[in-house]
Amino acid sequence: MHLNIKTTGGVLLLLLLLLLRQLYHYIFQSYSGFYKQPCIICSRTDVMTVTPWLAPVVWEGTFNPDLLDSIYKPKNITIAATVFAVGKYIRFLKDFLETAEQHFFVCFNVHIYVFTDRPKEVPKVKMAPGRKLVVHSVPSSKRWQEISARRMEFIQTLIKENLQKHVDYIFCLDVDSKFHSRWGTESLGGLVAVVHPGYYRDDRSRFPYEQRPESRAYMAPGEGDFYYCGGAFGGLLQEVYQLTKTCRTNFEEDAKKGIEAAWQEESHLNRYMWINKPSKVLSPEYLWQDSKSRNPEVHIIRFSGVVKNYAEIRPTV
Ligand SMILES: CC(=O)N[C@H]1[C@@H](OP(=O)(O)OP(=O)(O)OC[C@H]2O[C@@H](n3ccc(=O)[nH]c3=O)[C@H](O)[C@@H]2O)O[C@H](CO)[C@H](O)[C@@H]1O
Ligand SMILES: [Mn+2]
């Protein structure tokens, strides 16, 4: 009995000490000394973790999320996300917003900008403190290509007119997708691109780049690093401003000549990333497709496009 009291007392004391340690971490947001020692001779060997221009490629197992959060938390940063829900695509918004609450920069300041032609149909989603939703009206369109491509123009204008003083980083995302796991501070960088899940094992000759030299999105044979997604990109506000401005101008110059690039703004984005190398590359964990079975190098799916009936959902002309 005597021993039992002693043991229980000891356990309680230990628990108290552990609790105090956690509290200390919580208050000072400092993990110094308490995280797993980095191992300079160990790394993932099944995937590329740094590009030939020395940008990190983010895969599960290459970073410590708590350590990264503890670095960014004291900076009190704000991350914006843009998402377009025009026409029938409004139906994807609820899941997008609800899953973003669970996985996208949890515990950080997040401002989500929704662009829609149906502002009344924007779902009411409860958001945590520090997070908010802002709705902007945009015109409807008869062509899905135009909706998709004009995003560059709207994002450029949004940054110029509304975000300069309030936001540090921005991500521009497709709405027909859901978050499934953490998407956080590990994704922050100057200019950030996501490798497209459909082509990352292919030779560059198979990438669906724009192949007509008349287009400003033209990529010559032998050019190109990776094929990047139009459905997710981001970075520092000023970097994304330059990107959207350039892609918008090039898209409009093409249009004057009656050219529309093979994959609209995605083609222009790929041209931009070829000239201006991204400072961080996100693996296809950051935009998978529900219709695609998972490959062994993909240990976790963070964000994924839902299966949709294109013929039913897109406007027809
Ligand atoms: C995963 C990925 O990289 N997807 C890209 C891909 O096809 P996707 O098949 O993913 O394109 P999509 O139909 O999702 O259209 C792109 C986005 O435009 C918006 N939208 C589109 C049509 C519409 O009627 N209403 C509306 O709101 C919506 O936010 C949607 O998520 O190629 C497109 C080329 O144009 C874009 O580059 C997409 O980002
Ligand atoms: Mn999409």
Which residue lies with its CA nearest to atom 36 of ligand 1? 230
- 186 and 250 part of one domain: yes
| pLDDT higher at 22 or 150 | 150
Decide if pLDDT at 19 tops 70.
Answer: yes
Decide if pLDDT at 30 tops 70.
Answer: no
The pLDDT of 293-304, averaged and rounded, is 98
Decide if pLDDT at 58 tops 50.
Answer: yes
**Residue recorded with tokens 């970075």:** 235
pLDDT-based confidence at 22, cuts 50/70/90? low
- 61 and 199 part of one domain: yes
The answer to the question of residue 154 being in a domain is yes
- 209 and 78 part of one domain: yes
The answer to the question of residue 49 being in a domain is no
The answer to the question of residue 37 being in a domain is no
The answer to the question of residue 180 being in a domain is yes
- 125 and 211 part of one domain: yes
pLDDT-based confidence at 27, cuts 50/70/90? low
Annotated active-site residue 266? The verdict is: yes
Q: Which domain holds residue 12?
A: 1-30
pLDDT in tens, 91-101: 999 999 999 99
**d(Cα 104, Cα 183) in Å, to the nearest integer?**
5
Which residue ranges are tagged as binding site for Mn(2+)?
174, 176
Atom of ligand 1 nearest to the CA of 151: 18
Decide if pLDDT at 306 tops 90.
Answer: yes
The answer to the question of residue 52 being in a domain is no
Distances (CA, A) of 73 to 34, 65, 70, 164, 181: 17, 12, 5, 20, 20
Decide if pLDDT at 33 tops 90.
Answer: no
The pLDDT of 261-281, averaged and rounded, is 98
CB within 6 Å of ligand 1 — which residues? 84-87, 89, 144, 147-148, 174-176, 229-231, 263-266, 287, 305, 314-315
% pLDDT > 70, the chain:
94
- 91 and 130 part of one domain: yes
- 61 and 25 part of one domain: no
Residue pair 212/259 in contact by the 8 Å Cβ criterion: yes
Instruction: Please report, as a single letter, which amino acid is at residue 128.
Output: A
Residue 12 CA, ligand 1 centroid: distance in Å: 55
pLDDT-based confidence at 186, cuts 50/70/90? very high
Which residue lies with its CA nearest to atom 2 of ligand 1? 231
Residue 310 CA, ligand 1 centroid: distance in Å: 10
Atom of ligand 1 nearest to the CA of 263: 34
The pLDDT of residue 1? 45
- 23 and 82 part of one domain: no
Decide if pLDDT at 4 tops 70.
Answer: no
The pLDDT of residue 159? 98
Tally the domains of the chain: 2
- 18 and 104 part of one domain: no
> What length is written for the chain?
317
The pLDDT of residue 13? 76
Which residue ranges are tagged as binding site?
84-86, 89, 174-176, 196, 266
What pTM did the predictor assign?
0.91
The pLDDT of residue 26? 54
The one catalytic residue in 186, 265, 266, 285 is: 266
Q: What is the mean pLDDT of the chain?
A: 93
Lowest mean pLDDT among 6-10, 115-119, 281-285: 6-10
- 124 and 265 part of one domain: yes
pLDDT-based confidence at 14, cuts 50/70/90? confident
| pLDDT higher at 128 or 11 | 128
Please report the ipTM that was assigned to this predicted complex.
0.96
| pLDDT higher at 13 or 315 | 315
**Encoding tokens for residue 31?**
């993990």
Which of 148, 178, 270 best tests ligand 1's pocket when mutated (most atoms within 8 Å of CB)? 148
pLDDT in tens, 199-242: 999 999 999 999 999 999 999 999 999 999 999 999 999 999 99
- 161 and 307 part of one domain: yes
- 4 and 124 part of one domain: no
